[in-house]
Amino acid sequence: MMSGKNILWATVIGSHMWNMHREDSDVDVFCVFAYPTTILLMGYRPKSSFFVRFNGCDVHIHEIETYAHQLIKGNLNYILGTISDVVIVDSEIHKKFRELVLKNPFKGIYHSIRGMAIHNYKKYIKSGVDTSENRCNKILRVLQFGITLLKYGKYETKPFYNGTPDLVAEKINELDLAYADSKLPEKLPESEIRKLLYDVRMRYMWMTEDEK
């Protein structure tokens, strides 16, 4: 699936990560890889993100530099792909990134969470396209994740049930208040992220014989 690339880790996100999957639920996989550093030093800039269907899974694949930049920006999906307890492929570098995220709760992720919530609220609920409990629960589980993080500094991916459109609106407001009151730092420590990225680049300087 990833010929010529070094797979660093792969985790399961989506409904399976939240323990809210059903028999017909898709399996969403988050995968991080590294190109051989020599390719980049030679001036090549190959594609850094992919989406593929593989063995019945929806696989979101990102090169380590793209991953690191999105982590610095506080992108929710990249945080979840780091801390998910459902690990398919593991590595020391994944453990280091995971430890870094878990030890440094930050409030800047609020912007990504709120953006997702507002987008889906307008797209599905306010428009009337899908106001089902299932749709509400998908939005609410992420809102509750953000509220818990902002209030208590904990990353908790817990299921959410009995969601309603009114509750979604209430939780968006609660998220806003939690952000305003939060004493957490705004960002993850960027220097530590870049140090880990540097370590990956040095480790994967060359393409192995099996990858040629």
Please state which of the ranges 7-16, 117-126, 202-211 shows the lowest mean pLDDT: 202-211
Asked if 105 and 167 count as a contact pair (C-beta separation under 8 A), the reply is: no
CA distances from 194 to 54, 69, 189 (A): 31, 9, 9
Q: Name the pTM for this structure.
A: 0.91
How many helices (H) and strands (E) the chain has is answered by 9, 5
Does the structure show a pLDDT above 50 at 209?
A: no
* Predicted confidence (pLDDT) per residue in 52-108, tens digit: 998 889 999 999 999 999 999 999 999 999 999 999 999 999 999 999 999 999 999
Averaged pLDDT for residues 2-26: 85
Asked if 19 and 86 count as a contact pair (C-beta separation under 8 A), the reply is: no
Give 38 or 180, the one with higher predicted confidence.
180
User: What are phi and psi for residue 139, nearest 5 degrees?
Assistant: -75, -40
- Distance between CA atoms of 3 and 48, rounded to whole angstroms? 14
Does the structure show a pLDDT above 90 at 121?
A: yes
